[in-house]
Copies of this chain bind each other. A is one copy, B any other.
Amino acid sequence: MAKRKIAVIGVGKIAQDQHLPVIDASEDFELAATVSTRGVGHGDKPVFRTAAELYAAMPDVGLVSICTPPGVRHSLVREALDAGKDVMMEKPPTTTISELDDIIAHAARLDRVLFQTWHSQYNAAVDRAKAILAQQGVKSVRIDWRESVRKWHPGQDWVWEPGGFGVCDPGINAYSIFTKIMPFPVFVESANLTFPANRQTPVDVEVKFKSGQPHRPEMSSGFNWLEESGEIWTIHVVTGTGDDLKLERGGRTLRINGDVVLEHGDSEYAGIYDRFADLLDAHQSDVDAAPLRLMSDVFLMGARENGPDFEW
C-alpha cells in the first residue's frame, strides 16, 4: 500500500527530535512538506510559511501533524479540519478545556479523524500497570513529580506567564498516566498552589484526590519545580491486594514489590504514529480530555499562597 502523505506544522524541538525522524523511518507515512513561520524545512521537502499555503498548493496531502506550541493549536486544528484534513496534535492539546471540547466536537461534526496523544500513553509499562490495577484494585496512590525548571526551561520566562501552567506543565504528564491507569474516575478534593511572589504560575502544587469508591483510597500528587538533585517522576500505587507498584522515570520503568518487571524502550513516538495509522484505517478519533480537565480542576479548586520570589 502507498504511504500516506503527511505534513508537519511547526518545526521546533519536538518535531525535529521525534516526529520527523519517526516519519522518515515509517512504513505508513511519508513526509510531504513542512509548515514553519521561520521557514524550517526537512530534507528536500517543500516548506510553507502558513498552513493555508500548504492546503492551496498541495491539496492531495490529507494529513497534518501539529507540533506548534499549544497557544496557537486550537486555531490551526480548526483550520486543518475545515480544510478536510485528518489531524494529529502534540500535547498538551490546547490551553483551555473549552478549546479542546470545541475541536473534539468540530472533528465529529466534519467526520474527520482527530488524534491527540499524551505522555507515555503508548508505553508497555503503563499498559501493564493499568492491567494490574484493573485486576487488583487500588488502595492508595502517591504521585511525585519533581524537576528543575532551570534545567528544563532555562530562561524561558513564558512558563511563568498566565496560562503557562508553571509546574503543572510537567505535572500534566503525570496526570495523563494517572487517569489512564486508574480503574475508577478520580476528582480533585483539594489543592494547594504555591506561587513565587513575583510570578503568575505555581512552582509547587499539592493535590488530594477523591473518588466515589466506598473503600476511600488515599490519593495525592506533589509537583515541585525546584528539584536540583535530578528528576523524580514517580507514581507509587499500593494495590487492593497489597502489592507495591511503582512507575518510575516518567512511566518508563515498572517495579513491583521492588523488582523491575518492565522497562519501556525509546519507541514512544513510533508507537504514536502506529496508533495514528490504525485510527486512520478505522476512521476513528482518539482525544482524551481527562488530563487537562483534571489539571483545570486543580486551578479551579486550589488554595493559593505566595512563596519566595523566583529568579533564574
Contact = CB atoms under 8 A, between A and B. Distances in A.
Interface of A: 74-75, 78, 95-99, 101-102, 162-163, 185-188, 190-191, 195, 200, 212, 289-290, 293-297, 299-304
B96 A300 contact: yes
14 contacts: A74-B187, A75-B212, A78-B212, A95-B301, A96-B187, A97-B97, A97-B296, A98-B186, A101-B293, A195-B304, A200-B303, A295-B300, A296-B296, A296-B297
Given A96-B187, A97-B300, A98-B187, 15 more contacts: A74-B212, A78-B212, A98-B185, A98-B290, A98-B293, A101-B289, A162-B301, A162-B303, A163-B301, A200-B303, A296-B297, A296-B300, A299-B299, A299-B300, A300-B300
- How many monomers of this chain does the complex have? 2
A299 B99 CA distance: 15
A293 B97 contact: yes
Nearest to A163: B301
Nearest to A97: B293
Contacts of A188: 96, 98
